[in-house]
Amino acid sequence: MHVLWHISDLNENSHTNRDDIMRYAYDARTDVRLAAAASATFGVVPTEPTEQLRVAHLDADAFYVSVELLRRPELRGLPVVVAGSGPRAVVTTASYEARRFGVFSAMPAARARRLCPQAVFLPPDFAVYREHSARMMGIVRRHVERVESIGLDEAYLDLEGFHSPRAAMRRIVAEIRSETGLVCSVGIGPNKLVAKVASDAEKPAGFVVLTREHACERFAHASPGLVPGIGPKTAAKLADMGLTTLRALALASERELMERFGSNHGRDLVRRARFESDGAVSQERKVVSESRERTFDYDVAETATLEAELESMSEKLCASLAAHRRAGRTIAIKVRLDDFSTVTRARTIEAPTCDARVVGAVALALLREYAPPRPVRLLGVRVAGLVAEGADSAEAQAAQMALPL
């Protein structure tokens, strides 16, 4: 049995902060007498938390810019933007000084330059970002056994069994800052959904702890788009139904939502609005597909150029698949035209492959069959239904069946 203080210690140390005593009493979770003793000492009746704090979401603030500032400390305090240099480049991330001018991630770099012409623009250096990410995640894994990495700069942490989730996360954040210079925001909650929204709530250097009920109260008047899994298009459709807040969505008719969005998605929208989620923290994220795509600096109409680019991307994609010993049966292309209309075409072959000659030939055939009617803005190739290279046909078929429709 784990306790943080003996019961007798509570009376001997009554000067200890009352809130800390009550908090640690609950964080211990294994000795109800501790909470009872805290109640007797301070003359208060504790309210049992309705849910445990099981999950943390850790997010490095403005990660790419933060890494660049570690390399170029003379830029601190200035608006800094990490972005490509092409005419169709987008912002990878922006410092908080740049964000005050309306510059945000995924914005066209040309627009960012108009909004903040005095900003320092730096090209992305992903090799260096991966090094810093590895150091940060290494620190996290020193403390937490089950960690689900989401990209280079964020992760979910399984806090089940920790005596004090808050104290544990504060130690991790402090060590990351001390050893790497990176500042992180943290959200802690009963599930991944609450933890993620909490970590975004008070950036930078935020530290927010919420139960599901508190999340519902705090974000009741926020747009449904605040919640992961509810994108702009879905939020717009909800607004057409008069559902412009999370509270309204949480109280909405599930039947009407199912009629509009389908049975599964309709039910899921209500659950997300109520911050209900049963997704566990997973150490391994199952990869079901891998792709390569390119947005051209200028629209391309020449068939030979498109085919050469598609062959090149197929080779790079298959080299990556082979390096990770993966293969797939479904080969697809993605074509975005100059009017932003997007078309996908796919074909499933008999056996999984990571052979660039096979993938390239199928991709080229799909492109020729489609014959883009307008100049192409973006071109991509994807291999899906991935299994371990050499997997038998039964496993490959099971992976194929698991693909989303």
Residues 6+ apart with CB under 8 A from 84: 90, 92, 109, 123, 124
For residue 277, the number of C-alpha atoms closer than 13 Å in the C-beta half-sphere is 24
Q: Is 389 a catalytic residue?
A: no
- Sign of the Cα pseudo-torsion (223, 226, 232, 233, in order): negative
For residue 20, the number of C-alpha atoms closer than 13 Å in the C-beta half-sphere is 9
The backbone torsions φ and ψ at residue 191, rounded to the nearest 5 degrees and listed phi first, read -150, 175
> Do 204 and 218 contact (CB within 8 A), yes or no?
no
Residues 6+ apart with CB under 8 A from 111: none
Q: How far apart are CA 321 and CA 366, in angstroms?
A: 21
> Do 123 and 139 contact (CB within 8 A), yes or no?
no
The backbone torsions φ and ψ at residue 231, rounded to the nearest 5 degrees and listed phi first, read -85, 175
Burial class of residue 261, CB neighbours in 10 A (0-12, 13-18, 19+) = middle
Query: Residue 280 has which token pair?
Result: 């566990």
- Among the listed residues 68, 97, 148, 154, the single catalytic one is 154
* Residues acting as catalytic residues: 154
